[in-house]
Structures are given as C-alpha cells and as structure tokens.
Amino acid sequence: MSGYGVLWTRSVQPPEREQIDALAADIAHRGPDRTAHIVHSGFALIHAALDTTPEAASQIEPLKHPERSVWLVTDARLDNRDELLKRLRSAGIRWPLRTDADLILAAYDVWGRDLVRHLVGDFSFVLVDAAEQRLLAVRDHFGIRPLFWAARNRKVVIASTLAAVANHLGHPLKLDEQHLVETLAIDVRDQSRTVFEQVNRLPAAHLLEISAESISARRYWGLNDFISPRLKPEHAPAALREAFDQAVRVRLRSTTSVFCEVSGGLDSSTVFGVSKLLHQQGSGPVVGGVSLVFPGDPVADETEYIDAVHDRWGDIHSIDGFASTHDFVADGRRFFEPVLSGDLASSISGYEHVAQSGSRVLLGGSMGDQTMIGRGTVQRDLLYDGGWRAIRNAADSTKSRPHRYLEMVRPLARAYLSKWPTIDGWMRKHRAPSVSVDHLTARALARLRASEADIAPSGPYGSRYHSLTEGHNRKAFELVDRSAAAAGIELRHPFTDLNFAKVAASVPEHLYFRGDDNRGLHRSLMADVLPVKVAERRSKAEFSGVYRWALETGFPTDDPMPRALERRGLINRAAWRHMQKDFLADPWASEYVWPVWTTICLEHFVRWYEETY
C-alpha cells in the first residue's frame, strides 16, 4: 500500500512548488517509509511508500522507464507476478524486473493502453508518457485501491485520497446533491461521483486517459470478461478450493508477520484457517488473528465462535469493541467524506493492535457472501442455469419460515420477469432501494429515480458480478482502506481475488446448495480448516446495537435532527422523527439502522461543509 499525487498542467509549465509540497503532505500518511517526487515540464509526480512485500523495499518511485520518457507512480500489489514476468520476457523485455512497478512499466512497453488486461491484484496507478503527452490512470477490477481526480482550467490533479484532491482545488467546492441522495438511499448508482461536484472518483475497472486535447474514462473490464466456461460438476469443488488457497497464498506475501480478522463467521474463519494451514506447510509467514467482541450484546457478540477458532488454531487476540470511542464528525472532516460505518471505532482498534504487533498486513473475510452466493439474487442464476431441483428443494424447505420463503420467491419472480427486455429495462429504472427511504422527500426520490438503477444483469453470472461491483460495496472498501492506511496497515481480501471470483462464478449453482443452505459447498469444502461449531453455524451477527452505541458515543447528542439536509430539501422531518423513534425504541430494528446512521453522518458532514465553505 502506498499513496501518490499527480499534478498535470497540460502545458510545458511545471507545477508550482507550493502545490507539490501541499499535495505531498496530504498523502504522506499512506507512505511513512519514504516520500519522493519528480518535477518535469508539464507535470509533477509524488509518491509516499509503505513497504509490505519483499520487493517493495527496493521499489523507488516515481519510476522512470530505462529507455523512454515514461514515468509511473503506483499503489499496487500484483498477484500474477510469475506469469506476468514470463510473458514480458517472452515479449523481449530484458531490463531488470524486480518490483511490481517494474512489471507495470514493462507491461505498458509491450501492450500500451491494454496493459491493464494483463494485471491481476489490487492496484491503482498513474503513468505519464511525456513523449506522447498522455497520462493514463487505472483502478483495479473491484476498486480495492482508491483513485480520485479533478480537472480545472486545463490543470489536472490525481491522488489516492479525496481530501488531497479537494484541498488542492480549495474554495469553492460544491456539494453533489445527487451523490448525497444516493448515499442516503444506500444505493450508489453513479460510482464516478463524490460528495463534491468538482471531485471525481475513478470507478473500479476503469482507465482514465488525459491528453492536451481531451479527457476520457472507459471501462476496461466488465461482465463479459467475468464469464468463464461452466466447470464440470465432478471438477468444480476441487477447482474452487485450489483457487481459494491460491488467493490466500498470494496475499501472504509480506515482509512481516500477517494478521487475519476473525469474526467467528464462516468467511473470516476460512481465511484464517487456510492462512494457518499454508504457514504450517511452509507457504506463508507467521499468522495471527485479531477479533472484535461486543460483550452484553447478544446478537453482535460472536465470542463462542471466535473461541472455537482459537481452540482450533490459537493466536487470536480479542478486543472489546465497546471499549473504543471515536469522533466520527472529526473523521469526516479529516477525510472530506462522511464515515458510513458504525463499527469503525472498533475496527480501528484492531488496525492499531496489528500495527503495534509489528505487522503491516491484515487479511479480511469481506465479500464472501457476494463471491460465493451472489447475495439474494442467487436464485436468478439458478433459474438461468437450469437448477430447478435446487430451487424446488430450497423453496420447499423454507415454506414453514415465511421470511426465508419470501427471500426465495421474490428474486425468482424478478429473474423470471427480467427475461423480457422491456420489463428488464423498466426494472433497471424503477428498482426499489434496499432499505427504507420513507424519510426522503419527493424531490430527493425524484433525483434517485432520474438515474438508472444498478441491478444485477441477467444471466448465470449476473448476481456475483453485481454484488462484487455495486457502488455501496466500493465505498465500503474505500472507507476501510483509508482507516487502515492511517494506522499503517494494508488490508487484503482473498474473496475479491479476480481468479477465485471467476472460478466461483463458474461452479454450477446447484452444487453450492445442501437443501436450502446455499453455503453447503463452502462448509464441506473447508471442513479441514473450520471448527465444527463454525462450520455448523447458520446464524449471522447483527450490529444494530453496535450502531446505536456508536451514535451515542461518536456524535454530539444536543441536536440530532437533520436540519441541514432538511434545508436542502432532501429529508422529511416528520418521517425522520418517526424512523428515529422506532429505532431508539428497538435498537435491533435492523431496517432502520442504515437510514438512521447514514442520515446522521451526512447531516454532520453537511453542517461542517456549510460552516467551512
């Protein structure tokens, strides 16, 4: 993990030194090991390094091509190094290729703009070709590493953080109300927007190209690239396990010991267990675990499952999630974006423990549901895949539980209707948000409906692709990335490994099921690393109580009303009062958790904006 900043004047004039120093200061926290920059006619590149892999210590950036006037800054970890090195050598590259930055620069030499199609890993980077007067900025397939940019008066600024770009632009900045509405509805549809109209986010799997004459962004990878031939049923389980072991193995590449987040759930326990197994086999460094516990909260605390993992593997340090406090208002001001996670204070305590233990790498279990089952739209894939027996068995086994039965039937109905193009188009335009939007005004809802809904594409790969690429998950990755970076920690997510995700999508859907259990294959496939108690677990933790605690300890309580959002015509006060009352009366009213939390976060951020700008 690293940070970078780029100033591009689109002329022969170099950027001003004061601007370079300011941008370097804004990204310095992402790279405490060393900071360097170069100034050229027309551009400046700044890099702040945090060494997390054996090769990174010898990686000096900004990096110049050995034979051409091409420069590069990266925030990257490539996971297909060996394969890529062979292909580059076969293509005639002869200069030393030691670091990930070397490989990226050589890939540009061989494939030009198409280099990104040959890269696998977590990355964002900016490449400047001075001879061609061209700049390329790239973000990885699932948006794990951040990239923000802005253009004003023929000048461009690009950086790893939103705050760095916003600070460079200075006054005046204008709030993007469309993005505010989508955030309030937990339905981020346009992933290029940020809270400020003038600051852009480069979406996942996109390439930004800038020349003296034009600026354009294009998607380089999508659903068609995600699709692979269906695996034969007899080969699929072994292929899935092999792909996951490899996804963990490449993420254990580290200069220090590695930690894993262990919640006691199926996914994080799997990551920890496989990491431990690989270490025992000599394929990885020493691995420790860090867990958050919430004593006294019967639906959030997972101590009994964490203890089972500890008994199986050992080396887990537990942190009381309620012992940490956090100033969410100050955090929003620091990062120039509201904090949309109520358990962030607890997570930061985990990041700090990992850093204090001498480690710089933390593996997580995020996106396991999305990769393995595609969330609630897995039934759509079953329908297209012809898995009628699995559909029937799952539906029959849930009839006695109305809530589960509705979860089964609704996606099937949507999948059936979406086979007709006209209906599918209407659904894209009018899809209902996933949470209550009763607190939004008619004006806000009109803004939401004005943008096309980002629903899962039709077909057997649609649900996984959608779950892995939808906007709300992308923002969540940015949040944890910036918080971990502040502690000097690089987060890595095996379930977002590109090759593993493609293999998981290629497994025939019915193989995942054991009756109505769509994680049945996972449980049996990982039986050697999962404690029996965790493997047999069917419940999930619910964090409504944690979010209520965070509201009480992390925000001022003198005026909880969203007055600033109401003045902007986005929130209906009467509806908000009703929602807040219901949430406070029942802290486990999960349907109101996200609307209440998000509204309060945005309210305080908008107030700060109005005071500042």
Q: Across residues 358-366, what is the average pLDDT?
A: 96
Judge whether residue 364 has pLDDT over 70: yes
Residue-level pLDDT at 405: 47
Q: Helix-strand-coil percent breakdown of the chain, rounded to 5? A: 50, 15, 35
Judge whether residue 550 has pLDDT over 80: yes
Judge whether residue 212 has pLDDT over 50: yes
Judge whether residue 428 has pLDDT over 60: no
Residue-level pLDDT at 427: 45
pLDDT in tens, 103-130: 999 999 999 999 999 999 999 999 999 9
3-7, 73-77, 415-419: the lowest-pLDDT one: 415-419
Residue scoring higher pLDDT (512 or 392): 512
Domain boundaries, the chain: 2-221, 229-370+470-535, 544-612
- What lies within 8 Å, CB to CB, of 429 at 6+ separation is 449, 452, 453
Residue-level pLDDT at 366: 93
Q: Across residues 314-342, what is the average pLDDT?
A: 87
CATH class belonging to 2-221: alpha beta
pLDDT in tens, 328-339: 888 888 888 888
Residue scoring higher pLDDT (236 or 401): 236
Say if CB 332 and CB 603 are below 8 A apart.
no
277-281, 457-461, 505-509, 521-525: the lowest-pLDDT one: 457-461
Residue-level pLDDT at 589: 61
Q: Across residues 173-195, what is the average pLDDT?
A: 92
The Cβ of residue 9 has, within 10 Å, a number of other Cβ atoms equal to 17
CA distances from residue 429 to 181, 182, 488 in whole angstroms, order as listed: 16, 14, 42
Residue-level pLDDT at 384: 45
**Kind of pairing, strands 121-129 and 134-139?**
antiparallel
Residue-level pLDDT at 400: 47
The Cβ of residue 326 has, within 10 Å, a number of other Cβ atoms equal to 21
Average pLDDT of the chain, as a whole number: 87
Residue-level pLDDT at 434: 54
Judge whether residue 267 has pLDDT over 90: yes
Judge whether residue 375 has pLDDT over 60: no
In DSSP notation, 516-556 reads: TBTTHHHHHHTTTTS-HHHHT-------HHHHHHHHHHHS-
Strand, helix or coil for residue 16:
coil
pLDDT grade for 444, boundaries at 50, 70 and 90: very high
Q: Does domain 229-370+470-535 have CATH number 3.60.20.30?
A: no
E-only strand ranges, 345-407? 361-363
Neighbouring-strand partners of residue 73: 126
Residue-level pLDDT at 475: 86
Residue-level pLDDT at 246: 98
pLDDT grade for 433, boundaries at 50, 70 and 90: low
CA distances from residue 347 to 135, 263, 267, 566 in whole angstroms, order as listed: 36, 11, 17, 31
Overall pTM surpassing 0.85 (yes/no) = yes
Residue-level pLDDT at 544: 82
Judge whether residue 285 has pLDDT over 70: yes
